[in-house]
Structure 1
Amino acid sequence: MLERCCGLVTLLLVSLMLSAIPVVQESGPDLPAAPEMMPSSHGGGSNLSWGPSSGLNVFVEPGRMISLQFNITNNANISDDVSFMLTWTGAWNALWNTSQLPCTTPLTVTMSPGALEWPHFDIHVPMVVNGSPLAGVRHAFTLSATSSIDGVSVNYSFTLELDAVHGVAIDSEYARLNVDPGEKLRHPVTMRNIGNARVGLAARVVPLDAEGEVLLGFSPELSFQHDGWMVGVFEVYHLSGVGANGLQPNESATVQIEVQAPAQTSGGIHIGVIGWSGGAYLDTEMVDFNVDIELRRGGLLEMETNCGDDVLPNRTCNAEISVTNTGNFADSFELVVESNPWLRTYLSRSVLVLQEGERQESIILTLQVDGMVAAFSHGTATVTLRLQDGAELGSQQVEMRVGAYVDWDLKAVEASTDSRDNVSVAFTLRNLGNGDDGLQVSMHVDVNSVYGLIPPPGATYGSSEGAPRYFEVQNVPPGVNFTFRAWMLLPTDMEANGTANMRVEMQSVLAPEIVFINETNTEFLAEQYRPENVDEESGWQRLEIVASIIWNTFSGLAIIVIVCLVGALGLHRALIYRKQKDEEWLAKQPKVEESEKPEDWLGKFAKGASDTGQAVVGAVVEAPKVAARVFTDLFTSKSKKRGEERERPSEDLLDAANVVLEHHEGERELERLDDIAGGLLDRGDPHPANIALPPSEQVAGRTVRKPKRVPAAKRKSAAKGKATTAVAVGIETPDLEPEDSQAASTPVRKDEDDELDLDL
C-alpha cells in the first residue's frame, strides 16, 4: 500500500514537472519524428502507446544528474512483456533507476491489459571538457518500448540542452627568461576558451613575490612598473576573436607580455599573467614566469698591420687596432702589449669605455726596433684585450723582422812613397751595420805600371799569379775593422812628366749601392828628368829656374796690377780731355748777367760786417764817423736837386678830400661784406669736419640785396651837364701795394682832364 502511494506521488510529481517544462516541437535531423500511434487492437496484436508526445527539451547543468520517467499504456487485450531501452549519442551515461543497469541494457516490464507503467531512468550529464558538450546544442535521446507479442517498438524522443559554461585555460607554462640590461623582450602567453559557449577572454599582469603571491599594493592591470621594470600586455585584441565576437569553444589566442629591464647589470622580476573568461570573471587562471637581467661581457679585437716588410734599426712600423663591445652593456676594456725586449711598443690608447655594440677604430700600435739589433731577427708583439677586472677576451699577434742595416766607415787612408817610387796606400774600414757584410775591392791605375792589392787574411781573389787587382771579403761581423793595401810603381820610362792616378773602389755585398772610391794622384818625372839622368845645374840654370818659379807663382798678380795701372792712366787722360772740352764750350757761350737778388745784397751786408772784423753776435757795430759839413756836402752832391715847393692846399680842400676818401672807403667795405655774405651762401661741399653734423632746417625767405655800387669814375662819365673842376692836390701817393688789396685805397691819379680822381 505504501509503495503504491509513493508511486502515485512520483507520477504526480513527474506529471507536474512535465507539464511545467515547455515542449518545443522542432523538425530536423537531430530530432526524431514523433511515433505514430498504433491503432487499438482487439485481436492478438500489441497496442502500446506513450502518454506524452515526443519533442520534450530539457535544460541540464553539466556534471549533474537528472531523473526522468515517462508513462506508457498497454492498450491490448492481453498482457505484454515490454522491453524498454534508451539510446543516445555522445559521452553521456544513463542508468535504470530500479536496477542501476545501463539504459542500453533492456528493461523488461510485464504490462497487463490497460496497465500504465512509468519506466524510470537517471541520466548523468557530462562535464564540459575542452568546450564539449557545446551549449546551445540539443542532444537527442530515444526511449523505445518493444512488445513481446509481435516485436513492435514504440519510441519516445526527447532532447537535453546544456547550460553555458565559461572557463579559461592557459596553455603556456612557467618560464625563466633572460634579458639584456635596459632592453625589451616579449614573452608569448597562449590562452584557450574551455567553456562550451562563444565568449571573449581577458589577460592581465601583476608582480609577484618569491612565493608567487601578488605584491602588496598591486592588482591585475594591463601594465605596471616596479623597481625600474616595465611590464605590459600587448596584442590583447586576439582574445576577442574574429570580429570581436569572442573565441569559439576550445579556441586559443596568444598575447604578448612585453618586459623592459632597467639599465643595470643585475636584477630580476617575477611576473604573473592572470586570465579569465568574459562570462566568469571570478574563475581565473594564472601562469607565472621570471625575467632576470643577464650581463654578457665580451669584446672583439681586430688588427691590421704594415709590418710585413723588414724594419731597420731605430725605425718603426704601425698596426691599426679596432675594438668592438660585443657585450650587452657599456663596459671598460684595456689593451695590453707584450713584446721582445728590443722591440719597443707605443699605444695611442690603452683604456677604452664602449657602449653596447660600439666600435672603436684607429687605435695605433707603433713598434720600434730599439738599437742595432742583429739583422733578420724575428720579433713578436702580442696585443691582449682584457676587461677591467683582468678577464682576457682575445689577443692578436704582430710579427716583424729586423732589416739589414748596411753601413761602412772608412776610418783611415794612409799613403806613402818610398825611395823606389813605390806608392802604397793603406785602407782601414769598419762594419757599422747590424749584420755580417762583405766588400768587393777593385783597383785600377791609368798609366802603364805595375800595381796590385794586398788583401787581408781570409779574402778570396781570382789569379794566384802576380799581384791581385780584385778581391772579396765575406762575413765581416758588425763592429769589426779590417785593413788592406793598394800599391803601384811609378813609371820610369815615360817621355814626359805626368801624374799617375790610382783608383780603388770598395763596394758592399749586401747593399751594392754603397761604394767607396779613393783616388790617389802621384806625379812622376819623365826619363830625361829623372835625377839619375840630369846633369848638375849651373848658376844661370838655377837663376832661370828661380825666375820661372817666381813667374809661375806671381804671373797672375802681376798681370792684374798692370791692367789696373793701364786702366787708371786711360781714365785720367779721359777726364782731362773732357774738362778741356767743357771749358772750350763754355767759352763759346754768351755771357748772361744775372739780376741781383735780395739774397745777394743781403749777403753784402753780411760780408761788410765780416770784413770789419767786428761781426760778433750781440755786439754793436759803430758806423764810420765823418764831419757834419763833409756829410752834408756829400749827400747834396749825390742827391737830385730839390724842386720848387708846392703850395699847401687849403683847409677846405683837405676836408673835402677827406670826406670823399671816407665815403669811398665805406663803399669799399660794404662791397667786401657783400662778397663775404655771398661766399657764405654758396652751397658747395661741406667741410669734412661738418659732414657728421645734422643738416640745418632751411626756411624759405626773401633776401633784398642792394644794387651794386658803381665806381666814382663811371658815375662821373655817366653824369651829364655837371661841371667838374680839376684841383691839384698836394698829396703824393707812394707806388707800393698795400698789405690788403681789398682794404687798401686806390692811389690818387690824374686823368686826362687834369681832374682829381679820388675813387677808391
Structure 2
Amino acid sequence: MRSVLVGMLILMHILVPLVGVAGQTSTVEARDTKLDVIGLNQVTVHRGELIEVLFTLHNQGDQVDTFNFDLVDPVENLTITGLPLSKTLEGGYLRQVKFNLSADLDAGYAVYNLSILFTSLNDMNWSQTETFQARVTPYSNLNFGATGVSSFIVSPNTRTSVAMNITNNATLDDDVTFNLYTASEWNWGWTMNTTNGLNAYETIRQDTVSYVYLWVDVPSVIDGSPLYNNGPRFQISAVSGIDGGIVQWSFDMLMNEFKNASIDEVGDDAVIEPGGVERVSVDVRNTGNSPNYLNITLEAIDAQGEPIPDIPNFDRIAINGWTMAIFGGLEEVILQPNESRTIKIGFQAPMEYSSEIDIRLRVFAGGAIQNTRIVDIGASIGWERSGSVELRTDTCQSLLPTESCNADIEVFNGGNAVDSFEYSIKQVPDFVSAQLVQTATELQPGEYVNLTLIEITANASALAFELGEVVVETYLFNSDTTVGITRIPVKIAPVILWNFTDIVEETDSNGRLSIAMTLRNEGNTADGLLVQLQSSHSTPMSFLPPNIAVYEQGVEYLRSFEVNDIPIGYNFTVRAWIDLPQDQPSNGTVWVNTTVRSQFQPSTEFVHTSSADYTGTPWQEEVEEESLDVFGMISTGVEILKAWSLMIGAVLVSGVVIYKSIVARNQRTAVQMEMDALNQPKPQEEAGDWMNRFAPSEPKMVQESSVKVNPEHFKQAFQKRSGAYKEASAPVDPSLTKAATTVLEHHSSNDLLTSADSLLADIQNGSPPSRGTNASALHSPTPHQLQPSVPVQPQNIGVAIDDDLDI
C-alpha cells in the first residue's frame, strides 16, 4: 500500500507540468470561466419572416477563451440558422454575434421559449444556458396623421399645446406606448389619460383614430435666444403593443420675432471742471431674437426725476447752462441678436464753480417702443483746487547793506479751473526789509508762470554774515488753504572799508621822516590789518607797532605787523619812521609805500605813498653851522607850551585839589581833637601838684614833622586825578619838567609845615596827637621822591592823534 502511494505522488509530479504546457499559460493558477450574454431577451417575428437575432458576448475572465454555443432543442414552426457558432474572446473583451430566426407560414401566433448552450474550449467542465422568447405575431399598422417634420411658430413666454392624430390600421386592437424625445431643456408634458413618467399609454382599436396630446412651455427670449424662426425639435414615438413596431413623428417649435433692447452698463456720474467737458459711457444691447436697430434719445428731467414737458426728447439738450448730447448713437447701425455697442453721453458744464444736473437716457429696439429702457445719468461740477510754488532764484545770499535783491518763484495751478493765488509775508529778519512785488496771480488750469515775488533790501546797519529767512506763504484765493511756503535765504555780505584820516608826515632836523596815519573801520564786520612798509632806498626804517600788534620779536627794524579783530567804527593808527639817506652822492627823493591789507579780504589793499627829499653828500659839507636863532627858540618854546599846556594845567589843578584836601583834612582833625579834649574827664589834682607849676621847665626839642610820600603812589594818584595820558609826540624841554617839580615841591612843603604847626600846637596844649598821625612819616621828602616819572620817546611824532586802540 505504501508503494502505491509513492507511485501516485511521482505520477502527479510528472503530469502537472504537462497540464501547464497544454494551457499555454505562464502560470499554474486555476482559472474561473465567466461569460456574460447581453441582449438575448425577446424577439418578434412574423409568419414567413426571417429576422436576425443579435446579442453580445462579454468574456469576464482573465485569459483568452473560445466559446461554442448552439440551440439546445429545436422548436416546431421556427427555423434557426447560423448555429452552432464558435467565437474567441480575449479576457475582458466584448463581441457581438448573431444568428437567423424565421417563422413558418402556418406558425401559430404564440410565444416560444428557446435555449442556447454555451461551452468553453479551455474548460471542458464549464457550460452556461441562456433562454429567450420568440413571439410570432401579426403585423401592426399604426400611422400618424402627418409625416416628416412639422413646424409650429410660437411666441416667447407662452405654453403651447400640441395634438396629433394616429390611426390603427391593423387587424387587432393595439396597446400603444408613446414617448417623446428632445435635445432642448424646454419644459413639456402629456395631456393624456394614462401616463407614467415620460411615457403615455393608449389602446387603439383596429381601424380607429386616436389623438396624442402634449404641451410645451416656450421660454422667454433671453440674450437673443432662441433666435427668430429657430427652435428645438421634438420627436414622438408610438410603440405598438402587437409586434413592437415603432412609428415616429417630429415637429419643430420655431420662435416668433421678438424685439427688445437693454442697457447693460452705465459709467459713473461725471464730475466736470468748470466749463469742462466729460463723457459717460453706456453699453446698450439688442436683446431681441432678430437683427434690429436701437432708438436712443435723451429726456430732460428736473431735480425730482420728473420729465420737463416743454423740452422734447432729442439727441441733444441744453438746459440751465448745461449741454448734453449723445455720441456714437447712430440709429442706422443694425445690431445682431445679443450684440452690444457703446455710446457716450457728453456733458458740457457752464463756467461755474458749483452746479449739477441729471439727464434721462431712453433706449428701445425698433418697432418695440413698449419695451423702452431708461436710465438716469448725472453730472456735477467738481472744482479741484491745488497748486505748487517753487523758489527759482537765490540771489539774496550776498547782500550788501542798503542793497536790494529780488526773489523769483514758479507758480503752478494744479486745479481744474481758473484760480488765483495770494501771497503773504510771514517772517522777515530784523536786518532786512521786504516788500511784495505783487500780491496775487491768476492762472489757467495746468499753467506755469515765473514771476518776481518780493524785493528784499538790507538795512544800512546790517552786520556782515547775518543770516535769516524771509518766509512767504502762498494761499488759494479767498481761502485758508496753503499752497506752499517759500523760504528765501538772506545773508549779509561783508563790506571791507577802511577810511584814511589824519595823515601826518614830518621830517626832523636829524633827517628822519615820521609818518602817522589813522585808519577807521567803516565796514560792517570786525576786521584785521596786515601792514607793510616799503621804501625806494635801502635805509633804516621801522614801524612803531601798537601794543595789540602781532609781529616778529627781536627784529631791529620792523617792516610789517598784523592787528586782529578791529571792531566796527574803531580807529587804528599806523606810525613809522624812515631815516633819510645821508650817503648819497646827489640830491634825491625817498618814496615810501605804506601798504595796508584787510585780513578778511587780502586781495583788498590800501596803499599810501609818502615822499621826502634828502641832500647829497657834497651839499651836506657846504652847509654852514647854524647860528643861535633866538626867535626860533622862542617859537619852539611857545609850541612846547602849547603842546604841554594841558599837562601843566592838569598838574596845577591837581596841586590845588591836593592842597584843598589836605587843608580840609587838617580842619576836620582839629575839630575832632577839640571834641575829644572837651569830652575827656579832667584829672583830680593833688596837693603837691600845684608846686610843680612853679618849677623851672626845660625847653623840649621838638622835631619838625613832614609828610613822606611814595613816588609810585603819587604817580597813581596823579594819573587818577588827571586821567590817562598819552605819550608825547615830541621831546619835552627839561626846563618845563624842572619848573613843574619846583611847583609840586613848594605845595608839598607848605602842606607839611601846616601839619607840623598843628601838631606843635597840640603838644603845647597838652593834647595827644590826632589819630592816624604816624611819627615815622614826619620826614621831609627828597626832590627825587616827588618827581613823577614821565616817559620820553624821541621817535614819537609831535602831533596828537585820536586813536581808540593805542595804549
TM-score relative to the length of structure 1: 0.59
User: Would the aligned equivalents of 2:137 and 2:243 in 1 still touch at CA under 8 Å?
Assistant: no
Give the Å deviation of 1:384: 2.9
User: Would the aligned equivalents of 2:396 and 2:406 in 1 still touch at CA under 8 Å?
Assistant: no
**Which runs of structure 2 are paired with 1:159-178 in the superposition (5 Å)?**
159-173=252-266, 175-178=268-271
Of 326, 332, 350, which residue of structure 2 is paired with 1:240?
Answer: 332
1:515 aligns with 2:606: yes
Give the Å deviation of 1:294: 0.8
Q: Which letter does structure 1 place at the counterpart of 2:185?
A: A
SS of 1:236's equivalent? coil
**Which runs of structure 2 are paired with 1:160-199 in the superposition (5 Å)?**
160-173=253-266, 175-199=268-292
**Which runs of structure 2 are paired with 1:326-405 in the superposition (5 Å)?**
326-337=414-425, 338-363=427-452, 365-389=454-478, 390-405=480-495
Give the Å deviation of 1:211: 3.6
Specify the alignment match of 1:320 in structure 2.
408
Of 76, 80, 85, which residue of structure 1 is paired with 2:179?
Answer: 85
Q: Which letter does structure 1 place at the counterpart of 2:145?
A: G
Q: How many residues align?
A: 491
Q: 1:372 to 1:92 in 2, by over 3 A?
A: same
Specify the alignment match of 1:430 in structure 2.
520
Q: 1:230 to 1:491 in 2, by over 3 A?
A: closer
CA distance in 1, matches of 2:195, 2:415: 72
CA displacement 1:601-642 (0-9 Å, x = unmatched): xxxxxxxxxxxxxxxxxxxxxxxxxxxxxxxxxxxxxxxxxx
Of 436, 454, 462, which residue of structure 1 is paired with 2:552?
Answer: 462
Q: 1:330 to 1:210 in 2, by over 3 A?
A: same
Specify the alignment match of 2:567 in structure 1.
477
Specify the alignment match of 1:453 in structure 2.
543
User: Would the aligned equivalents of 2:137 and 2:242 in 1 still touch at CA under 8 Å?
Assistant: no
Give the Å deviation of 1:261: 0.8
**Which runs of structure 2 are paired with 1:214-363 in the superposition (5 Å)?**
214-237=307-330, 239-241=331-333, 246-307=334-395, 310-337=398-425, 338-363=427-452
Q: 1:405 to 1:51 in 2, by over 3 A?
A: same
CA distance in 2, matches of 1:71, 1:63: 27
CA distance in 2, matches of 1:376, 1:354: 38
CA distance in 1, matches of 2:554, 2:162: 142
CA distance in 1, matches of 2:153, 2:627: 169
**Which runs of structure 2 are paired with 1:535-554 in the superposition (5 Å)?**
none
Of residues 498-507 and 524-533 in structure 1, the stretch that sits farther from structure 2 once superposed is: 524-533
Specify the alignment match of 1:57 in structure 2.
151
Q: 1:493 to 1:199 in 2, by over 3 A?
A: closer
CA distance in 1, matches of 2:194, 2:201: 14
CA distance in 2, matches of 1:495, 1:295: 98
CA distance in 2, matches of 1:72, 1:498: 162
CA displacement 1:200-258 (0-9 Å, x = unmatched): 11111122234432234334221211111111112222x533xxxx2211111222211
Q: Which letter does structure 1 place at the counterpart of 2:167?
A: T
Give the Å deviation of 1:274: 0.8
Q: Which letter does structure 2 place at the counterpart of 1:469?
A: R
Q: 1:139 to 1:472 in 2, by over 3 A?
A: same
Structure 2 stretches lacking a partner, 5+ long: 1-108, 110-135, 629-807
Of 201, 205, 210, which residue of structure 2 is paired with 1:108?
Answer: 201
Of 219, 226, 229, which residue of structure 2 is paired with 1:136?
Answer: 229
User: Would the aligned equivalents of 2:327 and 2:344 in 1 still touch at CA under 8 Å?
Assistant: yes
Specify the alignment match of 2:529 in structure 1.
439
CA displacement 1:566-620 (0-9 Å, x = unmatched): xxxxxxxxxxxxxxxxxxxxxxxxxxxxxxxxxxxxxxxxxxxxxxxxxxxxxxx
User: Would the aligned equivalents of 1:373 and 1:402 in 2 still touch at CA under 8 Å?
Assistant: yes
Q: 1:501 to 1:225 in 2, by over 3 A?
A: closer
Specify the alignment match of 2:625 in structure 1.
534
- Structure with bigger strand share is 2
Give the Å deviation of 1:132: 1.2
CA displacement 1:411-453 (0-9 Å, x = unmatched): 2223445565554332221111122322221224455654311
**Which runs of structure 2 are paired with 1:693-712 in the superposition (5 Å)?**
none
User: Would the aligned equivalents of 1:444 and 1:469 in 2 still touch at CA under 8 Å?
Assistant: yes
Of residues 399-408 and 289-298 in structure 1, the stretch that sits farther from structure 2 once superposed is: 399-408
CA distance in 2, matches of 1:307, 1:342: 17
**Which runs of structure 2 are paired with 1:748-759 in the superposition (5 Å)?**
none
User: Would the aligned equivalents of 1:343 and 1:379 in 2 still touch at CA under 8 Å?
Assistant: no
Question: Once superposed, what is the RMSD of the aligned Cα atoms?
Answer: 3.1
TM-score relative to the length of structure 2: 0.56
CA distance in 1, matches of 2:162, 2:439: 92
Give the Å deviation of 1:400: 4.2
SS of 1:119's equivalent? strand
Identity across the alignment (%):
30
Structure 1 stretches lacking a partner, 5+ long: 1-40, 538-760
User: Would the aligned equivalents of 1:498 and 1:526 in 2 still touch at CA under 8 Å?
Assistant: no
Specify the alignment match of 1:488 in structure 2.
578
SS of 1:172's equivalent? strand
SS of 1:404's equivalent? coil
Give the Å deviation of 1:198: 1.6
Q: Which letter does structure 2 place at the counterpart of 1:518?
A: T
Q: 1:80 to 1:522 in 2, by over 3 A?
A: same
